[in-house]
Amino acid sequence: MRIWVIGANGFTGRRVLSYLSAIGKYEMMGCSLRPDILPGSGDYRFAQVDINNFPVVEELFRKSTPDVVINTSALSVPDYCENHHEEAYATNVSAVEHLAECCMRTGSRFLHFSTDFVFDGKKQELYTEEDIPAPVNYYGQTKYLGEQAVASICDNYAIIRVVVVYGKALPGQHGNILRLVKTRLENQQEIRVVSDQWRTPTWVDDIARGVELLLPATRHGIYHICGNECLSISEIAYRVADYFQLDRSLIHPVSTEEMNEATPRPRFSGLSIEKAHRDLGYSPSSLEEGMSFMFS
Ligand SMILES: NC(=O)c1ccc[n+]([C@@H]2O[C@H](COP(=O)([O-])OP(=O)(O)OC[C@H]3O[C@@H](n4cnc5c(N)ncnc54)[C@H](OP(=O)(O)O)[C@@H]3O)[C@@H](O)[C@H]2O)c1
């Protein structure tokens, strides 16, 4: 099976690429905007590609038809998207639409990544794949439009929604809330975290396993692939402090209102993994298990 991972320099994309390469039975190719950040680190080819450059993408599909295209690329920072609408729309919507068309033409399965931020967070119980999105910021809007494009163009696809992804970051990749909290507490620095926003944090290796379960073209539609504990951001911070026996008094829980962030975020965007568990046998690690692997 020939598999492409687009966004292969990114936090999730690199883990998916190395996980699937290590299995040794797939012909893997990573694609990303910058050159390979870890050249020679596994059994895969690498193509430096801007997914906004449609002729180059089409040429890539002509040269070697993939069986599965996994798109982890995105402009994924909500604050950046809020201030760069055109750029965010191009990468998160137009380029996704184009990738979906290419996959449709070549008969490739399309696994496209999305987010809990498609929801408005007003539900106060875990969102299911049947709930109707209503994004509250521009990042969420573009991701929802990307999802709609994939669903309307492809018939062999899965949309994989993930939430607050954590794991080991490589140089040049963005960090995550767990690493930030651990580093701050270890350095005896105080940290303000919101106490009224809830998420289901996801260990990045669970995503790689979830992707593997979705490779066969037997299941289509949306799948929530995340952790099974719904926690406020401040609860996540306290769990990090307690696990590593760090000083929890340095953590200062504040309300969303007090945090006064420029970009609105959903209050409650925990996702239900019942469908993934039922259809795929997906079963994620606990936060403590994820932390023990992440910092081992
Ligand atoms: N991280 C989270 O907590 C989180 C939560 C919910 C949903 N998600 C979703 O999960 C997916 C992966 O997120 P992530 O945080 O792992 O992403 P990330 O680390 O921000 O990586 C995204 C990658 O996309 C690549 N990229 C951006 N523009 C591109 C372009 N025009 N052409 C080719 N590649 C391009 C970048 O490649 P280069 O590095 O080569 O420039 C970057 O490494 C995204 O769809 C995101 O929306 C993530």
What DSSP line would sit under 171-236, residue for residue?
TTS---HHHHHHHHHHTT--EEEESS-EE--EEHHHHHHHHHHT-STT--EEEE---S--EEHHHH
How sure is the predictor about 172, in pLDDT bands with cuts at 50, 70 and 90?
A: confident
Which ligand 1 atom is the nearest neighbour of the CA of 34?
40
Q: Which amino acid residue places its CA nearest to atom 24 of ligand 1? A: 73
Closest CA to 61 of 133, 142, 4: 4
* 200 has pLDDT over 90: yes
Ligand 1 mean position, distance from CA 250 (Å): 31
Evaluate whether 146 touches 100 at the Cβ level (below 8 Å): no
Residue 180 and residue 175: Cα distance in Å, rounded? 7
Which ligand 1 atom is the nearest neighbour of the CA of 172?
39
Q: Give the 3-state secondary structure of residue 163.
A: coil
pLDDT in tens, 119-153: 999 998 999 999 999 999 999 999 999 999 999 99
How sure is the predictor about 14, in pLDDT bands with cuts at 50, 70 and 90?
A: very high
Evaluate whether 111 touches 131 at the Cβ level (below 8 Å): no
* 97 has pLDDT over 90: yes
**Among 16-20, 44-48, 175-179, 231-235, which is the least confidently predicted range?**
175-179
Pocket of ligand 1 from Cβ distances under 6 Å: 7, 9-13, 32-34, 49-52, 72-74, 76, 91, 113, 115, 143, 162-165, 173-174
* 171 has pLDDT over 90: no
- At residue 190, the pLDDT reads 98
pLDDT in tens, 20-37: 999 999 999 999 999 999
Q: Which amino acid residue places its CA nearest to atom 26 of ligand 1? A: 73
Q: Which amino acid residue places its CA nearest to atom 15 of ligand 1? A: 11
Which ligand 1 atom is the nearest neighbour of the CA of 173?
19
Ligand 1 mean position, distance from CA 188 (Å): 31
- Percentage of the chain with pLDDT > 70? 100
For residues 7-23, average pLDDT: 97
End-to-end CA distance of the chain, in Å? Answer: 32
Ligand 1 mean position, distance from CA 247 (Å): 33
All domains of the chain, ordered by start, with CATH?
A: 2-165+203-227 (3.40.50.720)
* 65 has pLDDT over 90: yes
Q: Please state, rounded to an integer, the average pLDDT across all residues of the chain.
A: 97
How sure is the predictor about 115, in pLDDT bands with cuts at 50, 70 and 90?
A: very high
Ligand 1 mean position, distance from CA 13 (Å): 7
Ligand 1 mean position, distance from CA 248 (Å): 31
Quick one: tokens of 38?
Answer: 């870890």
Q: Which amino acid residue places its CA nearest to atom 8 of ligand 1? A: 115
Residue 92 and residue 133: Cα distance in Å, rounded? 16
Residue 98 and residue 95: Cα distance in Å, rounded? 5
Closest CA to 34 of 55, 23, 54, 49: 49
Tokens 């809020």 sit on residue: 82
* Integer-rounded Cα radius of gyration of the chain: 19
Evaluate whether 84 touches 17 at the Cβ level (below 8 Å): no
**pTM for this entry:** 0.98
Ligand 1 mean position, distance from CA 50 (Å): 13
- At residue 123, the pLDDT reads 96
- Percentage of the chain with pLDDT > 90? 96
Angle between helix 287-294 and helix 177-186 axes, rounded to 10 deg: 70
For residues 241-255, average pLDDT: 97
Ligand 1 mean position, distance from CA 35 (Å): 15
DSSP class of residue 155? S
